[in-house]
Amino acid sequence: MLNNEISKVVAECGHRDLLVISDSGLPIPVGIKRIDIALMPGIPSLIETLEAVLTELGIEKAYIAREMIERNNELYSDILHVLEGYKIEIVEHEMLKKMTKESKAVIRTGEFTPYANIILQSGVEF
């Protein structure tokens, strides 16, 4: 991982801590660490960022919004592929936004498609 802020947050994650990877439009609550890696619309994508984070963060579960399945099915399919074998919990988008208030950080990507947000719940590697 080349981004030292992401690396630091990942290293600080304990069991069941939440880490959000968001599109460029998700409101980030005041007081939650924002790691803004957005460069341009679509760069970097949510999938690219997810794959990079997963090289360092062991997870036990991921949360995505039901609205993604309905309004951004291509991204949903890509996430299912990347997270094959992991538990994915579907929540309403409003619940996902509330959950960001409990996260260690939000990594804001350049993703420019609707409902392109995911919350990763860290696991235990032993």
Tell me which of 8, 15, 16, 87 is the catalytic residue.
15
Q: Is the dihedral angle over the CA atoms 35, 40, 46, 51 positive or is it negative?
A: negative
17 among annotated binding-site residues? no
Q: What is the pTM of this model?
A: 0.96
**115 assigned to a ligand binding site:** yes
Strands ordered across the beta sheet of 33-36: 33-36, 105-108, 18-22, 118-122, 59-65, 87-91
Distance CA 48, CA 63 (A): 17
Our answer to whether residue 81 is catalytic in this structure is no
Could you tell me which CATH class the domain 4-122 is placed in?
Answer: alpha beta
pLDDT tens digits in sequence order for the chain, 126 residues long: 899 999 999 999 999 999 999 999 999 999 999 999 999 999 999 999 999 999 999 999 999 999 999 999 999 999 999 999 999 999 999 999 999 999 999 999 999 999 999 999 999 877
Q: Is 117 annotated as a binding residue?
A: yes
What are the residue ranges spanned by the domains of the chain? 4-122
